[in-house]
Amino acid sequence: MSRKYFGTDGVRGRVGEFPITPEFAMKLGYAAGKVLVAQDGLPQGERPAVLIGKDTRVSGYLLEAALEAGFSAAGVDVCLVGPLPTPGVAYLTRALRLQAGVVISASHNPYDDNGIKFFSASGSKLPDGVEQAIEAGIDGPMGCVESARLGRARRISDARGRYIEFCKSTFPNELNLRGLKLVVDCAHGAAYHVAPDVFHELGAEVRTIGAEPNGLNINAGVGATAPAALRQAVQDQGADLGIALDGDGDRLMMVGPDGALYDGDQLLHAIVAARVAQGQTVPGVVGTLMSNLALEHAMERLGIPFERAAVGDRYVVERLLERGWQLGGENSGHLLCLDKHSTGDGIIAALQVLAAIRQQGQGAAELLGALQLYPQVLINVPIVKGFAWQGHPAIEAARSSVEQALAGRGRVLLRASGTEPLLRVMVEGGDGVLVRQQAEFLAAAVAGALQG
């Protein structure tokens, strides 16, 4: 079942997910509200309460109102916080002891996408049983409780300040950011009025870009998925470091003073290496199928177990919880520090990197560039729906040939896209020329198998 109720322009639904319309958002709020009302644990006569936050997309106003109406009709109180990063909603849901949190956001997507995501009372994903109960109720009839039992709505006026203080609390008390000049790119998203203040209040000199949202410009040429603007700003302003977030503030990329871009694998390595150098025990680290092989080899050198989860930060969280570990992430910039927060948080991840720089007494380029990524070539091969590529003799023979050519110094990954009719062919290793040749060979073999 989908864990994000997601649509594009309220019309074009994505694979396995629901197209969002105001009617759907209201029904979703009502269905979720009915499930919450039916749960045990609240004192007699007390209504459950949820928190609704959003990013800066213009459609957020519409969906917020529809969700509020649906929850109220089901007898659920609503706390509104307006634009706030996704991890901020997760934090406040937990801090205010509410029954659930709701985020209206499409993360790093363009402004005309939007989505709705739920958090549990603990600030983590909803249990599967609760999700299934909500989804089962979406197509049911929508009613309304009697007037005396209607949910009420109120605005949490100090949500931004609460979240800023929470973020700052994850930075070591004995450290500060004085003397650092930072450029912070907020992607014209939910962190625009949060992230700059966090770093400034810890002592940094802060310059911002992507901090003037108008409802239509979120992620447009700025943010973690479009780092060219930040690279230019860092060099133009002579900054020590650049910090790029995405539209809902849960993804992080960094830029060094020379314009070098550091991805999630390199940032995760910096956090882990600094903790080891400080004498802390790191029982294990979780990456994904797309994590660079260089990260896995670096963990081996540090004597730290490394495991790969499926692509998606929620799969990383699940594996970390299964193992009882704390650190993990994706090369796309979703970083998990479960000793600091229950979910991925771009601001908190940046603070952990900055703490590592301070503790190690190194420059950003020296620490973040310590992990030299292996060349990685990804080729998307169009396939037809239902094509049985797994176990296909010609594809398996080609894969075996590539693995022999890499001779243990590289890695091959074949992965079907979750949203498009594509097979993603990825080859990585230390020899960039060999990697390119073998990726093209394998992609051609896949295309040939399809035609045959």
- In tens, the pLDDT along 213-227 reads 999 999 999 999 999
Residue 15's pLDDT band (cuts 50, 70, 90): very low
Reply yes or no on whether the pLDDT at 5 is more than 90: no
CA distance 73 to 142: 9
Q: How confident is the model at residue 9 (pLDDT cuts 50, 70, 90)?
A: very low
CA distances from 165 to 55, 97, 168, 170, 350 (A): 20, 18, 5, 9, 15
400: alpha, beta or left? (left if phi > 0; alpha if psi -120 to 50):
alpha
pLDDT of 304 above 70: yes
CB atoms within 10 A of CB 248: 34
- 51-82: pLDDT as tens digits: 999 999 999 999 999 999 999 999 999 999 99
* pLDDT of 242 strictly over 80: yes
- The reported pLDDT for the residue numbered 13 is 34
Is the pTM here over 0.85, yes or no?
Answer: yes
What is each CA distance from 117 to 4, 32, 53, 54, 174, in whole angstroms? 5, 12, 10, 10, 36
Structure tokens at 190: 């939910």
Given this model, what pLDDT does residue 130 score? 87
Asked if the model's pLDDT at residue 12 lies above 90, the reply is: no
Provide the strand spans (E) within 342-435: 376-382, 410-416, 422-429
Question: Per-residue pLDDT for 1 more than 80?
Answer: no
Average pLDDT over residues 310-322: 92
| Percent of the chain residues past pLDDT 90, beyond the cut | 81
The predicted structure's pLDDT at residue 40: 66
pLDDT for the residue numbered 450: 87
**pLDDT per residue as tens digits for the range 363-405:** 888 999 999 999 999 999 999 888 899 999 999 999 999 999 9
On the CB side of 246, CA atoms within 13 Å amount to 24
**How much is the mean pLDDT over the chain?**
92
Catalytic annotation, residues: 107
Q: For residue 148, what pLDDT is reported?
A: 94
Predicted local confidence at residue 126, as pLDDT:
83
- 43 phi, psi to nearest 5 deg: -60, 155
What pLDDT shows up at residue 45? 77
Of 121-125, 210-214, 253-257, 304-308, minimum mean pLDDT range = 121-125
What is the rounded average pLDDT of the residues 159-174? 98
In whole angstroms, give the CA distance from residue 288 to residue 240.
30
Residue 418 has pLDDT above 80, yes or no: no
Residue 362 binned pLDDT confidence (cut-offs 50, 70, 90): confident
Is 406 a residue whose pLDDT tops 60?
yes
Q: How confident is the model at residue 200 (pLDDT cuts 50, 70, 90)?
A: very high
* SS3 of residue 67 by DSSP: helix
> What H or E segment, with its residue span, contains residue 421?
none
Using N-to-C axis directions, what is the helix angle for 159-169 and 346-360, rounded to 10°? 30
Calpha distance 439→429 (Å, rounded)? 11
- Report the pLDDT averaged over residues 406-418: 90
Q: Of all helices (H) and strands (E), which one includes residue 7? A: strand 4-8
Q: Can you list the pairs that 389-396 forms with residues at least 24 positions away whose Cβ atoms lie under 8 Å?
A: 389/414, 389/416, 389/423, 389/446, 389/449, 392/449, 394/445, 394/448, 394/449, 394/452, 395/445, 395/446, 395/449
Average of per-residue pLDDT across 197-226: 97
| CA pseudo-torsion sign 431, 436, 440, 443 | positive
Alpha-carbon gap, residue 6 to 427, rounded angstroms = 31
Output the pLDDT for position 3: 40
**Residues 401-425: what's their mean pLDDT?**
90
Are 360 and 320 in contact by the 8 Å Cβ rule? The answer is: no
Nearest to 112 by CA among 6, 29, 24: 6
The residue with greater pLDDT, 240 or 312, is 240
**pLDDT at 256 exceeding the cut of 80:** yes
pLDDT number for residue 17: 56
